C-alpha cells in the first residue's frame, strides 16, 4: 500500500477492504466456477443426502460405502418405486421426493443407524423417516413380489448342482441369523430386545444361495431369541416339515450323517 501511494496510484483503504469482502463473498457463494475436486480430496459435506447427489468420480465408491450398491442399481430401484411413493403437494412444506425417501430407507438398512442419527444426515424429521422406511418396505414387496423366492425348476437345479460341486449334496442354500439394531422399544420389555452384546435389536434369519441371492427371510423376533428358536418359529421350518422344500433322495454323508 505504501509503494502504491508513493507512486501516485494510492487506493482508499476502505475501498480495498470493500473489494476484498465482495470477492470473499463471491467465492463463498459459488459465483466463480470451480473444478470438480479430485477423488482423493475429502469434500466439505452437506450431509449424506447431499453427498449422494454428487456426480463426480467419487460417487460410485461413496454409494457402495453408504448404500451397499452401485448408483445404477439404486437408480433402477428408485425409478421402479417412484410411482408408489409420490407425495401429495400441500400448503405447508415441499414433500419429500421419491428418490430421497428410497435413499434414506436403503441407507438406514445398510448402515444400521438409529432413526435419530440417520435423520440428521438426510435433513428429515423423525416422524417422516419412520413413515419413509415403512412405505419403502411395503413398496418393495409390491414392486418386486418374486425377487425373494425359493428356487424352482431350472433355477433349483442350478443351485443344487453348484452346492453339490462344493461337496454339499441336496443343499439349497446357506442359513444364518443376524441382528438388526433398533431404538429402545417404548411399549415393550427392553430386556427381551437386548441381545448378547447388550444392544437393542431384532433377529433376522436369512437364507442365500452361492451367489448371495436371498431365498428366504424371517424377521421380527426380539434380539434375545436364540437362532435355533428363530428357525423353529419360521415359515421355512413349517414348509420343510410339510415336505414342500426338500424333495430329493436322501444322501448318506461321511460319519453316518
Mean pLDDT in residue range 237-253: 83
Query: Under a CB-based contact definition with an 8 Å cutoff, are residues 204 and 177 in contact?
Result: yes
Instruction: List Cβ neighbours of 160 (8 Å cut-off, separation of 6 or more).
Output: 170, 171, 172, 248
Cell numbers for 157, please give them: 437345479
72: left (phi over 0), alpha (psi -120 to 50) or beta: alpha
Count of CB atoms situated within 10 Å of the CB of 21: 10
Q: Which H/E stretch holds residue 215?
A: strand 214-222
Q: In angstroms, rounded to a whole number, what is the distance separating the alpha carbons of residues 92 and 21?
A: 37
Confidence of residue 65 (pLDDT cuts 50, 70, 90): confident
CA angle 117, 121, 126 (to 5 degrees): 55
Query: Under a CB-based contact definition with an 8 Å cutoff, are residues 53 and 75 in contact?
Result: no
pLDDT tens by residue, 89-122? 555 556 778 888 898 889 888 887 766 665 556 7
**Whether pLDDT at 225 is above 80:** yes
Q: What is the pLDDT of residue 136?
A: 93
Q: Which H/E stretch holds residue 100?
A: helix 98-111
3-state secondary structure (DSSP) of residue 204: strand
Amino acid at each position: 500500500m505504501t509503494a502504491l501511494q508513493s507512486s501516485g496510484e494510492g487506493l482508499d483503504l476502505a475501498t480495498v477492504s470493500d473489494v476484498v469482502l465482495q470477492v470473499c463473498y463471491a467465492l463463498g457463494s459459488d459465483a466463480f466456477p470451480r473444478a470438480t475436486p479430485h477423488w482423493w480430496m475429502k469434500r466439505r459435506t452437506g450431509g449424506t443426502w447431499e453427498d449422494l447427489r454428487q456426480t463426480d468420480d467419487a460417487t460410485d465408491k461413496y454409494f457402495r460405502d453408504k448404500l451397499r450398491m452401485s448408483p445404477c442399481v439404486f437408480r433402477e430401484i428408485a425409478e421402479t418405486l417412484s410411482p408408489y411413493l409420490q407425495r401429495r403437494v400441500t400448503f405447508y412444506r415441499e414433500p419429500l421426493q421419491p428418490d430421497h425417501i428410497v435413499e434414506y430407507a436403503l441407507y438406514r438398512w445398510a448402515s444400521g443407524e438409529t432413526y435419530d442419527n440417520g435423520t440428521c444426515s438426510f435433513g428429515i424429521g423423525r416422524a417422516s423417516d419412520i413413515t419413509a422406511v415403512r412405505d419403502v418396505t411395503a413398496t418393495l414387496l409390491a414392486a418386486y413380489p418374486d425377487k425373494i423366492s425359493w428356487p424352482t425348476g431350472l433355477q433349483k437345479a442350478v443351485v443344487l448342482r453348484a452346492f453339490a460341486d462344493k461337496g454339499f449334496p441336496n443343499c439349497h442354500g446357506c442359513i444364518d441369523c443376524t441382528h438388526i439394531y433398533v431404538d429402545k422399544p417404548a411399549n415393550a420389555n427392553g430386556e427381551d430386545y437386548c441381545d448378547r452384546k447388550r444392544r437393542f435389536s431384532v433377529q433376522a434369519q436369512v437364507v442365500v444361495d452361492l451367489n448371495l441371492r436371498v431365498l428366504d427371510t424371517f424377521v421380527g423376533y426380539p434380539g434375545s431369541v436364540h437362532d435355533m428358536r428363530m428357525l423353529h418359529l419360521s415359515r421355512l421350518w413349517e414348509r420343510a416339515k410339510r415336505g414342500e422344500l426338500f424333495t430329493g433322495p436322501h444322501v448318506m454323508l461321511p460319519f453316518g450323517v
